[in-house]
Amino acid sequence: LSDVFFEELGIRSPDVHLDVGSGSHAEQTAAVMVGFEQVIEADRPDAVVVVGDVNSTLACGVVAAKAGVLVAHVEAGLRSRDWFPWRI
């Protein structure tokens, strides 16, 4: 599904695509953690930037931190005044 967005917006595909798909919050978070751990092990980055407050933000942040990689978190704050499940 994401390929449609890249094509229609005229942007290149990402260097890494974890292909997690849908599922419960736990299933998505676990799948991202497993996939991102492989990326961290292969690329050995100095730092990881995580954006927002969604399942993948948590998953990638935890994996990077546990691997001893510096984590930078970019967040604009709660603007909708609505506590979505991933903000609780």
The tens digit of pLDDT for each residue in 27-84 reads 999 999 999 999 999 999 999 999 988 899 999 999 999 999 999 999 876 667 676 6
**Burial class of residue 53 in the structure, from the number of CB atoms within 10 Å of its CB (0-12 exposed, 13-18 middle, 19+ buried):** middle
CATH tag, 2-78: 3.40.50.2000
Q: Domain residue spans in the chain? A: 2-78
Give per-residue burial for 25-40: e unless 16+ CB within 10 Å, then b.
eeebbebbbebbbebb
Residue 1 in this model has a pLDDT that exceeds 80? no
pLDDT given at position 13 = 86
Q: What's the predicted TM-score (pTM) here?
A: 0.80
